[in-house]
Amino acid sequence: MSEHKHHSTAPEDRLSFGQKFSYGLGAIVNNLLGGAIGFMSIVLNVGLGMNPALVGTLQAIPRFTDALTDPIMGFISDKTRSRFGRRRPYIFIGAICVGITFAMLWQLPAGRSEIFYFWFFLLGSILFYLFYTVFATPYVALGYELTPDYHERTRLMGVMNFMGQLAYVILPWLYAIMENDRLFANSVQGARRLAIVIGIFVAVVGIMPAIFLRERFASQTDGNGEKSNLLAGFKTNILAFVKGLVITLKQREFLKLCAGTFFLFNGIMLVSAFSSYITIFYVCGGDTDMGAKYMGIFGTINMISTLLAIVVVTWISSKLGKRLTFIIATSFTLFGSLFKWFCYDPMAPWKVLLPAPFIAVGMGGLFTLMGSMIADVCDLDELDTGERREGMFGSIYWWMVKLGMALAFGLSGYLLNITGYHVSMGGAQTSSTFLWMRIFDVTIPVIAASLAIWAVASFKITEERSYEIRQELIARRSKIPVPEATI
């Protein structure tokens, strides 16, 4: 099964567990911030009585600003030359600012009008997302450049992804904690206090990667051999940004990874609502308590399976290579999605739990392997362009993920309408509605996973090629010393 003879990671390319752990702390903060604002936004509707449509608008608008700020931040970070590096200053400042902004965002004064809350939260969340980008984009880019080794990158991403899952353990509890009338008078007060706790956590933990990690390209000059000055010429920078954007979007291997992620991740996201509806209304006959119980157990199994999958995928990748590991992991998700067809059984509701571990494998492997593969693409890009552009690649990749997720959530509502679902009918939907729900729920992820496999199957940077690229880069520039561990 092996693609070729395997390379061993050189000692100087290895990252200590402490370095990996430091990077993983950033992932907890990154995922916590992304999820917390969504989970806590329910307070705007339930606690402050804001119109759900306005709440939806509040969540949508910053996504548009994200589309612009993410690649710009990637570009700025890539072009920054400072004695602290290209990434760490932004991670440090960004973590503190985003922590403070998050805490302030939820200090909503009582007794104001709906429109006041709308503008307060809108302006606050635009600022929040701006600082979030300042933190997250260089943080992601830092991960791509911490080690030059093909396998060590996967291990780093494995630790990062594993630790990042911690945030998803915490997130579902946020609303329950805010609503707990033993702790807080009401959910609005709960949100205020909780936001301060999260803000402090973000500011303290988020700066750890900046403190304990060292950049490999911190002192490197750009391709022209001259230090570039960001403010030297606005026009020059704009042109350079557009040119960089175009080059990034023309990088075929990068586009394959984007396509693979887009299909797999969004295929699963697109039908995530369907699974809940089918479980509650078809399997459990409209018994929301029973449906919620099974969805909760499903989520727990999924979480544990994802954690295990990350460990296994990281290990297998060192034996089989990233591309083949991705194909195998995604095949598990494909099988799990097909398996769902046989597990929606109203006479045996527990069967809905069976596909969970299979589906989790592909999702657990996705962001572990993709991060590592994008790092390989950055090497190839340097070979082509002479520049290190991790920031640009990372920002476009994650922007694509976020955009796809927004599209998936938006589209899922339309798909639900197509099935003929009527909310007033509860569990008494027609047989054809349930049939179409199940067809969508199974076929969309199956097709999406197949497309993801197809997209990544022709990814050209194998282990062998990766080491060749590295040798060529070493020949072009002197070998960059790996900084010693600081912890």
Amino acid at 257: L
Cα separation, 192 vs 209, in Å, equals 27
> Could you report how far apart the first and last alpha carbons of the chain are, in Å?
38
> Which residues contact residue 462 at a Cβ distance below 8 angstroms, ignoring those fewer than 6 apart?
3, 4, 321, 323
The yes or no reply on residue 182 touching another protein (CB under 8 A) is: yes
* Greatest extent of the chain over all pairs of C-alpha atoms, in Å: 71
Least Å from the CB of residue 229 to another protein: 45
The yes or no reply on residue 287 touching another protein (CB under 8 A) is: yes
Q: What is the number of other CB atoms lying within 10 angstroms of the CB of residue 458?
A: 10
Work out which of 113, 224, 431, 478 binds another protein, going by CB under 8 A: 431
The yes or no reply on residue 183 touching another protein (CB under 8 A) is: yes
The yes or no reply on residue 316 touching another protein (CB under 8 A) is: no
Cα separation, 484 vs 136, in Å, equals 24
Q: Which two tokens stand for residue 196?
A: 């301060």
Q: What is the number of other CB atoms lying within 10 angstroms of the CB of residue 6?
A: 14
The yes or no reply on residue 311 touching another protein (CB under 8 A) is: yes
Nearer to another protein, 224 or 424 (CB): 424
What character string, x for contact with another protein (CB under 8 A) and - otherwise, covers 335-374? ----------xxx---------------------------
Work out which of 53, 176, 185, 475 binds another protein, going by CB under 8 A: 176
Interacting residues with another protein between 20 and 39 (CB under 8 A): none
Measured between alpha carbons, how far is residue 325 from residues 252, 333, 432 in Å?
Answer: 20, 13, 38
Interacting residues with another protein between 59 and 98 (CB under 8 A): none
Q: Which two tokens stand for residue 82?
A: 């400072």
The yes or no reply on residue 249 touching another protein (CB under 8 A) is: no
Interacting residues with another protein between 291 and 310 (CB under 8 A): 304, 307
Contact call for residues 26 and 209 (beta carbons, < 8 A) = yes
Q: Is 21 left (phi over 0), alpha (psi -120 to 50) or beta?
A: alpha
Work out which of 350, 426, 439, 487 binds another protein, going by CB under 8 A: 426
Nearer to another protein, 181 or 226 (CB): 181
Contact call for residues 217 and 334 (beta carbons, < 8 A) = no
Which window, 116-124, 135-143, 266-274, 283-291, contacts another protein (CB under 8 A)?
283-291
Which window, 3-11, 177-185, 259-267, 473-481, contacts another protein (CB under 8 A)?
177-185
- Chain contacts with another protein (rule: CB under 8 A): 17, 166, 169, 173, 176-177, 179-183, 281-282, 284-287, 289-290, 304, 307, 311, 345-347, 424-434
